[in-house]
Chain A
C-alpha cells in the first residue's frame, strides 16, 4: 500500500488544478474573515451581532474555515478525475484490487483535504486578525477559538476529502459530482436547516459548525449553536457519512467495468 500511497500523492501534487484550489481556498478564507468585521460593525447587516461581543469576534475567526468545500472538491477530483481522463485504466491495471485503490485514495484525499483546510484556515485567521486590528473596540476572542478552529480545519478537511472521494466514486461524472456537492452544501443543506432546524445539527454544515465548538445564539437568524452536537460526536457523525459513502462506492460503482 506504501507504493500506491506514493503514486496517489504524486497525482495530488502534480495536478495544477489542486494547487489552484489551494490558492482559491486561501483567498476565500482570507477574504471571508477580513470582510466579516465590516459586516458585523454595520447595524443594518450585523445579524444582531456586534464586534464588542466575544461571540461575534469568535464568529469572525470561525469564518476562517469557510473554504471547507474545497476539501470535498479535491476528494471528488482525485476519484472522478480518474474516470474523466481515463486514467482509471492505468490505475487499475497497475493495482487491480479496486478496494485497495479506493482505500489509498481515501487516505490521500484526507491528507489533501486536511492540508487545504489547515493552510486556508491559517490564512483566514491571519485575515481576521488583521481586519479586527482596524476595530479598536472589538472584544477579545475566547482562548479556545484558535485551537478549536484549527482542530475543526484538520478534522473537517480530512473527513470532507474522504466524502469527496466516496462521492466521486459513486458519481463518476466529475462536473455532476462537484455541482451536486456544491448545490447540496449551499442550497439544499440551508433549506433543510431552515425547514427542520432540529435535524440541521446532523447535516454536514451543522456538524462542521459543531466541530468548531462555538457558542453563538441568534435564533432569529436560525443560528443557535448551543443546540448542536458536542464536537467529538459531530466529528464521529461526519466520519460516519464518509464511511457510508465509501461503503456504497465499494458495493456499487467500483464493481462496474472500467471504460
Chain B
C-alpha cells in the first residue's frame, strides 16, 4: 500500500486548473522530491492532501484515508507549508505548546523537538523576532512534534542560508533513517538530487515525470532533466 495515493486530483480556481487530473503514489519509507516550476500546482496539491483545500474532483489519501479522517493526524503526518502557521506575538515554545495541547502531546515533547531543531536557546523569544531560518526550524519542530511516520514539506529550504540548507539536509537524512516517508517540494535541485530517492515532476498542474531518481535523471543531473521536461522554466 502506498503511503500517499493521489488519484485524478483536480483543483480549479475560476476557469484555471491549478492541479489537472494528477495521479501519483508515494511509496512508504522513501523520500520523494516533488518538483515543478513556480505555479505548477505543488503547493495546491499538498494543501489538498492535508485537507486545507477541497479538491474540485479526485482524491488525495494518506494510508487510504482522507486527512480529516485520520485519528490524531499530527501523530501520523507532520506538515510544513509555505505559510508558517505560528502566532507572531507568542514565543516559539508557546506556539508549539498550543499545537501540542491540541494533539494531546505532553509539553516535555515540545522541549525535545526544540532541542532537535537547535532552537532551545530561542524558545522564549517571540516568533516575530525570529529570523527566517529560525521560523523554518520552528515549523519543522511543529511537524515532528507528534513523531509522525509521514512528513510533507513544502519548500522547507526557502530563505535558508547555506549553513541552514546544510543543517536541513542533515536533519532530513536523520529523519529518513528512521524509515519515515517524506514528500518534499523544493527548488534546490542539486540538494534534492543528493537527498531524495524518488521524484515527481509536475508542470501546469499535470504530472510530467515520476519514478526513482535514476529512472528520471539517468546519468545526467536533476537540473538538466528538470529543465528538459519543463521546457526550461525554473
Complex CA–CA separation, A85 to B84 (angstroms):
9
Counting residue pairs across A and B whose Cβ atoms lie within 8 Å, the total is: 82
B87-111 interface (Cβ within 8 A of A):
87-90, 94-95, 97-99, 101-104
- Tell me which of B25-33, B46-54, B189-197, B214-222 binds A: B46-54
Among B79, B87, B90, chain A packs the most CB atoms within 10 A around the CB of: B87
* Given A10-B97, A90-B99, A257-B54; A96-B73 close (CB under 8 Å): yes
Q: Is the CB of B68 within 8 A of A97?
A: yes
* Binary B-proximity of A90-103 (CB < 8 A = 1, otherwise 0): 11111111000000
Digitize B41-64: 1 where CB-to-A-CB distance is under 8 Å, 0 elsewhere. 000000100111110000000000
Q: Is the CB of B52 within 8 A of A89?
A: yes
Stretch at the interface among A13-21, A37-45, A201-209: A13-21
Question: Does A3 lie at the interface of the complex (its beta carbon under 8 Å from any beta carbon of B)?
Answer: yes
- Complex contacts, B24 vs chain A, CB 8 Å: none
Contacts of B68 in A (CB 8 A): 96-97
A15 with B52: in contact, given A6-B101, A96-B73, A259-B83 (CB under 8 Å)? Answer: no
Given A3-B102, A10-B98, A95-B102, A89:B81 Cβ within 8 A = yes
Residues of B within 8 A of A96 (CB): 50-51, 67-68, 70, 73
- The smallest C-beta distance from A100 to any residue of chain B, in angstroms, reads 10
Are B86 and A87 in contact, CB atoms less than 8 angstroms apart?
yes
Separation in Å of the A111 CB from the closest CB of chain B?
A: 15
Report A1-34 CB contacts with B as 1/0, cut-off 8 Å: 0011011001100111100000000000000000
Q: Which secondary structure characterizes the binding site on chain A?
A: helix
User: Chain A residues with Cβ under 8 A from B84's Cβ?
Assistant: 86, 89
- In the bound assembly, the distance between CA atoms of A90 and B79 in angstroms comes to 9
Contact A14 B94 (CB under 8 A): yes
Residue pair A93, B85 in contact (C-beta under 8 Å): yes
Query: Which residues of chain A are within 8 angstroms of B104 by Cβ–Cβ distance?
Result: 3
The answer for the CA separation of A93 and B142 in the assembled complex, in Å, is 11
A258 close to B (CB within 8 Å):
yes
Instruction: Give the CA-CA distance A125 to B54 in the complex, in Å.
Output: 51
Tell yes or no: B202 within 8 A of A by CB: no
Chain A residues closer than 8 Å to B53, beta-carbon distance: 257-258
Residues in B with CB closer than 8 Å to A90 are 85-86, 95, 98-99, 142
Task: List the B side residues contacting A97 at CB < 8 Å.
Answer: 68
From residue A48, how far is it (CB to closest CB) to chain B in Å? 47
Check A89 against B85 for contact (C-beta < 8 Å): yes
Q: Which residue of chain B has its CB nearest to the CB of A85? A: B87
Whether the pair A91, B102 counts as a contact (CB closer than 8 A) is yes
Contact at A93–B90, with CB atoms within 8 Å? no
In the bound complex, do residue B67 and residue A94 qualify as a contact, i.e. CB atoms below 8 Å apart? no
7 A–B contact pairs at CB < 8 A? A3-B101, A3-B102, A10-B101, A85-B87, A89-B81, A89-B85, A93-B50
Report A's interface with B, CB cutoff 8 A.
3-4, 6-7, 10-11, 14-17, 81, 85-97, 255, 257-259
Which B residues form the contact surface with A (CB < 8 A)? 47, 50-54, 67-68, 70, 73-74, 79, 81, 83-90, 94-95, 97-99, 101-104, 142
Q: A3-B103, A93-B73 are known contacts; what are 16 more A-B pairs with Cβ within 8 Å?
A: A3-B101, A4-B102, A6-B101, A10-B98, A15-B87, A16-B89, A81-B87, A86-B85, A87-B87, A89-B84, A89-B85, A90-B99, A92-B52, A96-B50, A96-B68, A257-B47
